[in-house]
Structure 1
């Protein structure tokens, strides 16, 4: 991806990036990747005198502030001109590590707070950008995407609010259900996948792993993740299995529909390494129950790969399960906030997506297709072939 070239295309407009809140760290990484890529591209051009305002710069990040009053009210102030720019706004709506003071009490930022800050940034631009793209890795209210009873459709409403404010495209990663894009049929909605980065990281962290049908298997912890597991299994050339959970959709317990019964659908897992794939780990109950069941069935190592490590109930249960040898390692991306407490766990591995996002931004800024970035099948197979030939 880092070698992508745009010989026959020009940027739509000067690039600018806003990294909201604690996404500044990820924003800095993305910024450095784009700077390095563009410096290299210019050095290889036949016409080195090529110039476009803002193309070759030392910083694409926008300077802004979101101060709060003592009541908790806030505003956004952008400290530079946004006129005519191609603006990308990055926001982590589940960043529980950021706080603010309200009535002399420290309060954690909620997903609603971050979504409101996102809208404040858009409003502060005053309609001046040439184009606005929102990169929301964890789709705000993405789990509230479908109505079973008399309940709110928060995700659909949020998407409609953003496009009504002038957002042209919304980018997310491993969406819980990307059919929510039906709420904005006339606007862009791109759902990117993290499969290549996960496979690459797992292989590098476990050089002894054997990727073939006899030694490894892909498992989905529920029916909702089956499509994701099928893709992984197909790209790796191995078998897959899933756990079918019958749920009671007539009630909610702690915000979730209770599981009535669970059944494993798949071949024998005995002696095989397991890639346990899901889009998020919240309380950890479901994925640990699945890991225990797999261990009881004779599974060898279990690698838990989840895009978003929310850890909403802390890590005590995960720590205990690790000590019991229920799983070997957990891989999550840096698309959402992860505290140092988790990063320092012996079982934790971070999957860096900064290079991937920088390639997405650079490609879209040049107004060219991202299809080859979305489909990583060939790149995954190249990794597997290279690894197996060692």
Structure 2
């Protein structure tokens, strides 16, 4: 907890691995990493597991500060507050190496912190974060790129991306940071959708506060919030593991076969925040419609004053995806303020859009990003 308020904006780390270890051949891979080892990693990050669930494809953990997903060859950690997420890289690489797995790629993303001066090392600035990641990764991940994707809402609202890959799938060239149109790490094309929402509707935010001494566990209170707020309806096929914090705050992980989703809410007045993240497989021509529908459902649940949307695409965007998103959310009172696109090794194409509601044109809360 920072001195100003709780930092809702998450830091997100995704690591991909490959290897010939026999463990991988039985389909479990990194899922066989002992919980004691995961606990040590999370201790370095400064968070703990509060709930867990698994299916045939992956394991999902709700953390005291967001979420952890473990697939056979992929690990995703997403943490908020003043956690030191990047301190997980070195121990994770070490544990994976002992199991016969080696890194194929790395992706780190985050929005602009509401309270940047409260962040500890190595999150004191994006420059410092990039230096720390690069020093933690093996030299085999030679194709690297760091970029801040800007917004016209204000200078303090932007999307930070760092990626690294072990090879350029198109061609070798003199550029040490080549752009890739799709990810060499993914066996199937997909969209990864990251939505950040601030200035939540006050009536909605109040639903994520618990009554004093309600006598409920975090699990039972979380289930009530999931039903009461309409979160369950965002993806009715998902099996949800949810948790409500005391006195306020909410986290959930959803499992829909091999696809995950996750929501985190910080409802405090003055710095309310909610995030929604999910994966959409690109199997047919309706994929863009699925993205728009998911975005609309999330907006309808939280009714934010300001929203940013980052979509990473491993298979190449349909040409009309961003205007369809704009037209899809316009009836909900959201105006597109900016749109930018860039290519990254190990992540494909990233589309970043920002929106502001009719009830708020004042811009993004919080201060400037420090130390850039």
Determine if the TM-score, normalized by the shorter chain, exceeds 0.5: no
Bigger strand fraction = 2
Q: Which protein is bigger by CA-based radius of gyration?
A: 1
